[in-house]
């Protein structure tokens, strides 16, 4: 098993490919979640703005939606950046656990076949 210590680049190519695939999937999920959040915020703003008569309330609602959206988008971008920087550490442990669980399942199924 290769060394999967944070900052180490000596990961075998197969594991590196699995890490890159997991990272791409997480980035895609983050983008989808951010887009869904912005669509939801816009929907709520426009539906609520049609019901509210006070302009100041609409401005506060709009500003609040923008602040909420920005904070959540920036937190997702920060998370993605951290995952990119520490991908061997973050995903290496996941892959090690997945491989370990898969091997244990195979051993159990072989044991069941022998009975």
The whole-number pLDDT of residue 111 equals 73
CB within 8 Å of 62: residues ≥ 6 apart:
45, 49
pLDDT tens column, 27-53: 999 999 999 999 999 999 999 999 999
Whether pLDDT at 100 is above 80? yes
**Is the pLDDT higher at 111 or at 93?**
93
Half-sphere exposure of 48 toward its Cβ, with a 13 Å CA cutoff? 17
* pTM of the complete model beyond 0.75: no
């Amino acid at each position: 098993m290769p060394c999967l210590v944070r900052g180490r680049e000596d990961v075998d190519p197969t594991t590196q490919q699995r890490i890159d695939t997991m990272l791409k999937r997480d980035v895609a999920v983050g983008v989808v979640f951010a887009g869904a959040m912005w669509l939801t915020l816009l929907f709520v703003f426009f539906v609520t703005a049609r019901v509210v008569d006070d302009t100041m309330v609409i401005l506060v609602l709009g500003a609040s939606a923008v602040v909420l959206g920005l904070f959540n988008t920036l937190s997702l971008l920060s998370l993605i950046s951290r995952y990119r920087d520490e991908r061997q550490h973050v995903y290496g442990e996941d892959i090690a656990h997945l491989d370990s669980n898969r091997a244990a399942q195979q051993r159990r199924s072989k044991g069941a076949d022998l009975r």
